[in-house]
Structure 1
Amino acid sequence: MEKLSSVAKTFTASAIQELSHLAQRSNVINLAEGFPDFPAPPHIKHSAIAAITSDFNQYRHVQGICDQLAEIVKKTHGLDINPLTDIAICCGQTEAFAAAVFAIIDKGDEVVLFDPCYETYEGCIRMAGGVPVYVALDPPHWTLDPVKLVKSFTVRTKAIVLNSPQNPTGKVFTGDELEIIAEICRIRNCMAITDEVYEHVTFDNNKHISLASFRGMQERTIITSSLSKTFSVTGWRIGWAIAPTFIASAMRNIHVKLTDSAPAPFQEAALTALRSFPEYFESLRRDYESKRDYMIKVLAGIGFKIQFKPQGSTFLFAELPENCPLTDVEYIKELIEKAGVVAVPGSGFFHKNSSFQKRFIRFAFCKSESTLAAAAQKLGELSKCREMSQTTSTQKDN
């Protein structure tokens, strides 16, 4: 231990990764990690295969991805970017986010995060020497309180992180909420790092809006995203950042020091993916909305409290039944041992102490219909067993 850096000593294994590995070893149904268990679209797989057989197997930068991204953000968000200077292609959104943090955060800089939030953000900030500052979203609808947000900013605040649609809650930040965030960034001359990997996965007529599209925010925003969630290729590790020229340049330099090059054949396939017809994205949205509704019905049917329907993403953040005496971690252990299903305890996404943080479970619904049906059956059987056990216990007490 004495040979480890001070930062390394603060890190522990990712609960999500550990639970996913457990699912693989134990042959249980994996609703923990947010990766699809169904095939990627044929047209992009064929493109990757063609790239490999054409020997696109060495270090490579595919400028076509940048050109296509520039066209997309212009059409979608009205942003004018230079594809030659304002984009960094990275090994997934995770590396893009890390490179963004390393490019702008110095020791002691504060970075505002919303709570609950995805686990990797804090680790990147701490590795850069930054200080995470959490602003709690208010349940059950995970509402942004402007007063809390303003109070979180100090003279040391350098950036704010925004993930919308959000993991784990499925919240899509509203236009009014985004304007509040944009306003304080303009007033404080603060940077924003956005995670927009679920930009194409929104439900019930909710629309994803990029923070960079607000007045004065393009020059203050680093957009990060990837192919992973939209095209069911989480293992391909193709992501990107769109940023002001001087920041994008710094990020490309950092990327070269970290990984040198994103996988070459998958970069070629990424270009094919980004050129997909609009019908593909609409089909994706409808499919996930149907799966969301199915899992809501399943979980509500066994007593889970679903006070907030996910507006986007591929996760359902469900509150344990009122009569459940277990914490989130205890419930997950029982779920694995007695039902053969694994999900993620919600407490790992919270960083500010609260009375409810051990009451939520995150279920991933980016799975095949057969997987979700099998999980539903096992969850139902576990629920019946618990009800029988509680009834027996009550009878004994009487």
Structure 2
Amino acid sequence: MEKMLSKVAKTFTPSPIQELSYLAQKRNAINLAEGFPDFPAPDYIKDAAVSAIKSDFNQYRHVQGICDHVARIMKDMHGLDVNPDTDIGICCGQTEAFAAALFAVIDPGDEVVLFDPSYETYEGCIRMAGGIPVFVPLDPPYWTLDPDKFEKAFTGRTKAVILNSPHNPTGKVFTKDELETIAGVCRSRDCLAITDEVYEHFTYDNVKHISLASLPGMLERTIITSSLSKTFSVTGWRIGWAIASAPLASAVRNVHIRVTDCAPAPFQEAALTALRSPPEYFKSLRREYEDKRNYIVELLTRIGLQIQFKPQGSFFLFAELPENSQLSDVEFVKELIEQAGVVAVPGCGFFHPSFSSEREKNHQNRYVRFAFCKSNATLAAAAEKLAAFPHADATRLNLC
């Protein structure tokens, strides 16, 4: 039956992560791999969802109030004037908003520039839309953007740029200068930008997230995607949105309607409660995650991993293997599972070797991604298990 598959479907193959997931389950390993919180969402948000279900908000629904609150947040955070009636589409999570944005603007043969490493969903969505991904490597260890590499990636077929900041997997927050570079090329080449800003509230050490759309001339050529998932610890609720100028937003909504029709109705109602959260909620969130970030940096340093770049945002840490390690990233993660009972993600799944020079390929199996969006109890349990790891200094792993 394989001959019945589409050309795109045939390119989607299982990754090493699936094999590692099976290993991790057998070992009952602590999950520092997947980017979801393992602690409860705030009670007042869960209560709002329960209330919505009991009030029979169970049918197709579009809650305009979400758009009103999202528009207010964009004004408060970034000074953006967004019309809640025309410029926002509610989707089934950021992932669907992102896919709908690509399907709305990309034609077969269009090239889409994105950065390497990057979250794996981006390339798949580009290919499903008929587009051609073109990767621009970020330079380790600080994952900086080289303006020359970026501009040289553009051709007469380039239609859009993908930007994820704060960044998964590295934890990088793109600087104002880097954003100016991206915006300048978009304006001069008359290209669109599609951004993934789901980690917008997760920045540390007084680093500020700047939305690309806030730069001169970019609001009308940017589609912003984000969601409720990370900020309120509800990754399974699937409430996200796309923000764009009215014609672009209308196209995204039209695609969304033909794919899923509407986001889950009771969780849309609960989103209203979440988005009304006071400023202190977001400040507390940032403080708590900064503490978790500091904890895992210290923890992984103790087992010999190299952390030259401390995450500035998101809730991921991209750690380099010990300098003297002869293992690949996949082999290291297998050893981590089997000998310590902790699972992480090999970095190779975020890189795209066919777009890299030989020098750049040298580091692409040298990184492992850890998620620190876990309870303090989970992180402490991971520390205890890692004390037995061969690379660990057990006398220094009591971090509690």
CA distance in 1, matches of 2:78, 2:39: 30
Equivalent in the alignment of 2:379: 372
CA distance in 1, matches of 2:23, 2:259: 29
Alpha-carbon offset, residue 54 of structure 1: 0.5
Once superposed, what is the RMSD of the aligned Cα atoms? 1.5
1:1-398 superposed matches below 5 A:
1-13=2-14, 19=20, 23-24=24-25, 26-352=27-353, 353=356, 354-383=361-390
Alpha-carbon offset, residue 43 of structure 1: 1.0
Alpha-carbon offset, residue 14 of structure 1: 5.3
CA distance in 1, matches of 2:255, 2:17: 27
CA distance in 1, matches of 2:164, 2:19: 23
The answer to whether the 8 Å contact 1:48/1:266 transfers is: yes
The answer to whether the 8 Å contact 1:141/1:308 transfers is: yes
One-letter amino acid of the structure 2 residue matched with residue 145 of structure 1? D
CA distance in 2, matches of 1:235, 1:345: 24
Alpha-carbon offset, residue 76 of structure 1: 1.3
CA distance in 2, matches of 1:251, 1:345: 33
SS in 2 for 1:160: strand
- Once the two structures are overlaid, the 10-residue window that deviates more, 18-27 or 34-43, is 18-27
Deviations 1:167-186 (A, max 9, x none): 00000001111011101111
Alpha-carbon offset, residue 380 of structure 1: 2.4
Aligned length: 387
Alpha-carbon offset, residue 28 of structure 1: 1.5
SS in 2 for 1:313: coil
CA distance in 1, matches of 2:352, 2:312: 23
One-letter amino acid of the structure 1 residue matched with residue 215 of structure 2? F
- Once the two structures are overlaid, the 10-residue window that deviates more, 18-27 or 6-15, is 18-27
CA distance in 2, matches of 1:109, 1:116: 21
SS in 2 for 1:88: strand
The answer to whether the 8 Å contact 1:34/1:364 transfers is: yes
Distance 1:14 1:61, change over 3 A: farther
Alpha-carbon offset, residue 379 of structure 1: 1.9
CA distance in 2, matches of 1:242, 1:20: 35
Alpha-carbon offset, residue 27 of structure 1: 2.4
One-letter amino acid of the structure 1 residue matched with residue 102 of structure 2? V
Q: Which runs of at least 4 in structure 1 moved beyond 2 Å after TM superposition?
A: 13-27, 383-387
One-letter amino acid of the structure 2 residue matched with residue 125 of structure 1? I
Distance 1:233 1:18, change over 3 A: farther
Alpha-carbon offset, residue 21 of structure 1: 6.4
CA distance in 1, matches of 2:206, 2:160: 30
Q: What's the TM-score once normalised by structure 1's chain length? A: 0.94
Alpha-carbon offset, residue 248 of structure 1: 0.9
Alpha-carbon offset, residue 15 of structure 1: 5.2
> How much identity, in percent, do the aligned residues show?
73
The answer to whether the 8 Å contact 1:112/1:153 transfers is: yes
CA distance in 2, matches of 1:131, 1:373: 43
CA distance in 1, matches of 2:150, 2:81: 29
Distance 1:269 1:385, change over 3 A: closer
One-letter amino acid of the structure 2 residue matched with residue 371 of structure 1? T
Equivalent in the alignment of 2:397: none
The answer to whether the 8 Å contact 2:303/2:389 transfers is: no
The answer to whether the 8 Å contact 2:166/2:174 transfers is: yes
The answer to whether the 8 Å contact 2:23/2:337 transfers is: no
Unaligned runs of 5+ in 2: 395-400
Alpha-carbon offset, residue 376 of structure 1: 1.5
SS in 2 for 1:194: strand
CA distance in 2, matches of 1:253, 1:18: 38
The answer to whether the 8 Å contact 2:166/2:203 transfers is: yes
Alpha-carbon offset, residue 134 of structure 1: 0.5
Equivalent in the alignment of 2:398: none
CA distance in 1, matches of 2:294, 2:239: 29
Unaligned runs of 5+ in 1: 388-398
Deviations 1:8-31 (A, max 9, x none): 000023555665566456522111
